[in-house]
């Protein structure tokens, strides 16, 4: 039976693969997300923000640094330790509330509602992504916004095809704990963009912005990646992030939505 994947035991591997040593993967992720959200969060009035599945706290630090009150929610203690250190390093303790909880546990506590909910790279690690998303949306204010980023199934298929793993594509199988190694970073619930768009529409949310995150970098030949100029990569990722077909092939999909009201 599939269960939610929490990052205790694999947080250091995640850090090394995404953020350590100024890894372009992490740089691109933050560059696109912060660009997409800047018009919203760089406003005068403070927002009440929930960073659900905050990981190492990079977005919480950025949002708090922009003057907002942030609840940093993360179930993995190892990830939360990184987040706390990051928040303390920037002297933002007064603007951030640290909560070690899953989304499901936090919603059950009825903590109130939020102007902005951040849910980045979380749904793909859940056994029931739709049900959890629906619970999370119960915390979103009327007129509030959801910033949702998720792992794109189209990207996984493309990578298998690039690698000549045709049988994997022809005969897909569900990923369960039995098929994962203890250090695997393979999402258990990759999602299709149209599937998520349908969920958001059914929830009554209006799509305001849709970007791809890492449209081409992950498809670059590994031996060439270290030779690429990071600023050029960021500029080109930003250029193609909202253009088809690049957007729909990106490793992650970012959708900013608004609840009417």
CATH class, range 11-258: alpha beta
Burial of 103 (0-12, 13-18, 19+ CB in 10 A): buried
Bridge partners of 256, per DSSP, are 147, 209
Average pLDDT score over residue span 153-182: 77
Which of 62-71, 103-112, 162-171, 188-197 comes out lowest in average pLDDT?
162-171
CA 70, CA 239: separation in Å to the nearest integer?
Answer: 30
Instruction: Please give the pLDDT value at position 9.
Output: 86
Domain residue spans of the chain: 11-258
Strands 140-151 and 252-258: antiparallel
Q: What is the pLDDT of residues 13-64, one digit of tens each?
A: 888 888 887 899 999 999 999 999 999 998 769 999 999 999 999 999 999 9
pLDDT value, residue 162:
86
- Measure the N-to-C terminal CA separation of the chain; round to a whole number of Å: 39
| DSSP classification of residue 155 | H
Q: Strands 48-52 and 114-120, how do they pair?
A: parallel
- Per-residue pLDDT band for 184 (boundaries 50, 70, 90) equals low
Q: Is the pLDDT of residue 106 over 80?
A: yes
pLDDT band at 204 (very low <50, low <70, confident <90, very high): very high
pLDDT digits (tens, 9 = 90+) for 223-250: 898 899 999 999 999 999 999 999 999 9
């Amino acid at each position: 039976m599939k269960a939610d994947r929490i990052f205790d035991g694999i947080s250091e591997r995640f850090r090394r693969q995404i953020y350590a040593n100024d890894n372009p993967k992490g740089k691109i992720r933050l560059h696109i997300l912060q660009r997409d959200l800047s018009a919203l969060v760089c406003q005068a009035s403070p927002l009440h923000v929930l960073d659900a599945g905050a990981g190492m706290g990079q977005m919480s630090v950025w949002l708090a640094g922009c003057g907002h009150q942030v609840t940093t929610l993360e179930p993995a203690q190892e990830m939360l330790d990184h987040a706390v250190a990051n928040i303390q390093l920037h002297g933002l303790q007064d603007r951030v509330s640290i909560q070690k909880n899953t989304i499901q546990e936090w919603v059950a506590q009825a903590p109130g509602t939020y102007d902005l909910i951040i849910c980045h790279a979380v749904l793909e690690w859940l056994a029931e992504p739709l049900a959890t998303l629906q619970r999370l949306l119960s915390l979103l204010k009327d007129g509030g916004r959801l910033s949702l980023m998720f792992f794109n199934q189209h990207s996984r298929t493309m990578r298998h095809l690039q690698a000549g793993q045709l049988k994997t594509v022809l005969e897909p199988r569900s990923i369960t704990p039995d098929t994962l190694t203890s250090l695997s970073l393979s999402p258990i619930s990759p999602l299709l963009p149209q599937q998520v768009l349908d969920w958001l529409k059914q929830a009554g949310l209006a799509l305001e912005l849709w970007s791809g995150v890492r449209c081409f970098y992950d498809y670059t030949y590994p031996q060439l990646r270290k030779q690429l100029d990071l600023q050029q990569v960021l500029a080109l990722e930003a250029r193609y992030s909202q253009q088809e077909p690049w957007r729909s092939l990106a490793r992650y999909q970012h959708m900013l939505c608004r609840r009417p009201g």
